[in-house]
Amino acid sequence: CLIRSCHLSMRVLVFPSLLPLGRLDKVLAAACNITRNTARKLIDDGMVKRNGLPSRVQSRMTQFADVLEVDSEEVKNILSIPVPEAEIVHEDQDVLVANKPSGVLSTPQVAHQDSDMGFDQQLTLFLANRDGAKPHLRIFHRLDRLASGLVLFARSERVQPILAQMWQDNQVHREYLAVVEGELSFTNRTINAPIRKQYGDKFKFGVYEDGLPSQTTIEVLSSSKEQSVVRCVLHTGRTHQIRVHLSAIGHPIVGDNLYGARHVPASRMLLHSTYLSFKHPIRGNKLSLIKLPPSAFDPFTNLCAPLDKVFSQRPTLPSPNVLVTPFNRAKFDAMRTKPSSAANPLPSHIISSHAASASSSSSSA
């Protein structure tokens, strides 16, 4: 509940979808079911705190996740709104890592309903309700809406530029668990294939010779004719990178209909951010965090070694010179599953830059 009682004090979070942002006196009146004159008197008398500090300015504009505290017996009925739950894997005064559920946007596209809030907004409300004040919280990377798992946040302003530089220098190590369609013919391989958005498609990305350099290491944990379980290590961070690379070699992620998954039923897309490792930006100690996937993965991972042990051991990674090698179409084509099986048709979005230009010209005409 967004409202908590402490002695005579009552607390309310400012939540735009149900309490429109606006002047302090108007928001307080709406939230507490009192007249605006009563709200103004409470503010003038110093009975209202905003994020733990007295607020005597009636016209002060409220912000998302502001916590208003009213210390008055006149306020008896306050609008009650459920607060989003959040699973925090690590938290200190500077950094926070939380587990994003599948189906939630990492950041909002249009925050107009509580169901459309981004994960960063849900976490902000959770912390504000827990701590009694709006927190400092800045997200540092995104997961696809259908993916789940670990997401890194800054909890203080002083670490933001440090984390940004660490991210730019590829000093944050990320590993994912994925279940893909079909049987993989290798045990460990690095996909080096450039990615960009497809022309004429609002949502899809693909492998194109004129795309941005993109590298993903794939380690097979178990494999059968129907599906395989893989660990994916990101060396770059392109949009939909793991989804595009796996689809491009003929093995889309189970449940990923956008990139060609069709043959293995699942309740969701089976991609989970499982492991996150980085040096603490202030203390300097190494943080290595593991969040095992939810139960939707269980029917597919029962043949794997225990996942906590798998992700506590470091995978075999390519030498640095492999990651700076230019895209080689012949090598890339050699690792793709041939279209002999109906279960693994080659996706149509793997085309050359010349073909892409021709497609763009025809569509614009």
Please list the active-site residues: 144
Q: What amino acid is encoded at 146 in this protein?
A: L
Measured CA to CA in angstroms, residue 19 lies from 23, 26, 115, 205 at distances of 11, 10, 15, 38
Q: Which residues pair with 222 in a beta bridge?
A: 229
Sheet holding 67-71, edge to edge: 4-6, 9-13, 67-71, 48-50, 53-54
Distance between CA 81 and CA 64 in Å, rounded? 14
* CA neighbor of 260 nearest in space, from 248, 272, 273: 248
DSSP assignment of 304-338 = SPPHHHHHHSPPP---HHHHTSPP-HHHHHHHSPP
Strand blocks (E) in 182-299: 188-192, 195-197, 205-207, 215-223, 227-234, 271-279, 286-290
Structure-token pair, residue 340: 């002999």
Q: Is the CB of residue 250 less than 8 Å from the CB of residue 337?
A: yes
DSSP assignment of 280-300 = -TTT--EEEEE----GGGHHH
* CA neighbor of 346 nearest in space, from 360, 328, 332, 363: 332
Residues 6+ away with beta carbon under 8 Å from 189: 217, 218, 335
Q: Is the CB of residue 234 less than 8 Å from the CB of residue 174?
A: yes
DSSP state of 26: H
Residue 154, H or E segment: strand 148-154
Distance between CA 47 and CA 26 in Å, rounded? 15
